[in-house]
Chains A and B, each alone.
Chain A
Amino acid sequence: MVGVVVVSHSQRLAEGTVELAQLMASGAKIVAAGGLEDGTTGTSFEKIMAAVEQVYSEDGVAVLMDMGSAVMTTEMVIESMGYDNVVMLDGPVVEGAIVAALEASLGTPLHELQAKVDEARVAPKLDL
């Protein structure tokens, strides 16, 4: 099963997103990497790396990030780990995490899961 990591500047946002995603997909391997070691806001290289390691398997890991340093630090974690099956998803954190967790729990392979989250990125919420 693909592992999912939620990276946010806020520990509570990352944990809350995981909580919400688990309601939809209780069997998913999804973990939060939010905030710094001391719980303050920011992004932690070590926390992200530990989270990826925690859910890693040969099926790969999909990571959702909020913005700025969350994206750049995740990129550096992936480069330093050297896995080619750990990918960043370009989707909204909350909606993307729900889609990713659901698809992962259904056994969807990494590249298909990635495409599903891409769809979530452009899915309108309002019928305008």
Chain B
Amino acid sequence: MITNDKTIEILKAIADRIEEQKDYLTELDNEIADGDHGVNMAKGFNAVAAKLPSMAGKDIGFMLKTTGMTLVSTVGGSAGPLYGTAFMKAGAVMKDKMEIDGSDLITALEAAIGGIKMRGKATTGEKTMLDAICPAYDAMKASIGDGEDMKTAVGKAVEAARAGVEYTKTIKATKGRASYIGDRSIGHQDPGATSSLYMFEVLLEHI
């Protein structure tokens, strides 16, 4: 189970991880696009971290929704509307929940993916965050379906997301700013997929 207090701890840890990896994410983004991913994500998640004290005692749906709205208002690049929509959609399906289990996590992730696909008009194989998140979702769903516990399922999700990030090195970008450089994006890992991997890693470390 992930409680509402635990959710605050996880969101804070995501903000810390993004801040730590800010320069690396920017470097990855510089190679294929406009080099703003690290700085933008850090700005957004620092703003989320600043709001966490005001979320204490609230339900998880509210926390995720507030996180999403904060990202939309503060990120300034594509990660804002994309992660923003993802968290807001996940928040909508976790409304009023004070704790969530493995099957809730699947539901939340499914809503998040739906949001990203809708907002970005994107799918897998385009060298985006979806190439990390979708395999992670599939692995988590299969694991929970097999009756494994949440920690095992999230562990498998992290492995799948990591493989997804590696996969983004092998394909060319057809969505987002990186698509302007076409074939020259091959060989570079996608910054959005990388920041998504960090979120799964942090989740695993905290459950």
Contacts and interface: CB of A to CB of B under 8 A. Distances in A.
A45 B78 contact: no
Contacts of A40: 76
B36 interface: yes
Interface string B173-186: 00011000000000
Given A72-B119, A72-B120, A73-B72, A43 B77 contact: yes
A69 B78 contact: yes
Interface stretch (B80-88, B131-139, B146-154): B80-88
Interface string A64-88: 0001110011011000000000000
Interface in B69-111: 72-73, 75-82, 84-85
B36 A42 contact: yes
Contacts of B82: 72
B119 A41 contact: no
Given A42-B40, A68-B176, A68-B177, A75 B76 contact: no
Interface residues of B, number: 19
Contact of B73 (A45, A68, A69, A75): A45
A40 B36 CA distance: 11
A125 B75 CA distance: 36
A76 B76 contact: no
Contact of A43 (B76, B85, B119, B176): B76
A36 interface: yes
A41 B33 CA distance: 14
A76 B81 CA distance: 7
B76 A36 contact: yes
Contacts of A72: 78, 80-82, 119-120
Chain A CB count within 10 A is highest, among B72, B120, B176, for: B72
B55 to A, nearest CB: 20
B87 to A, nearest CB: 13
Interface string B50-78: 00000000000000000000001101111
Chain B CB count within 10 A is highest, among A40, A69, A76, for: A69
Contacts of B77: 42-43, 68-69
A46 B73 contact: yes
A75 to B, nearest CB: 7
Contacts of B80: 43, 45, 69, 72-73
B135 to A, nearest CB: 23
B85 A69 contact: no
A17 interface: no
Given A42-B36, A42-B40, A69 B120 contact: no
Interface of A: 36, 40-46, 67-69, 72-73, 75-76
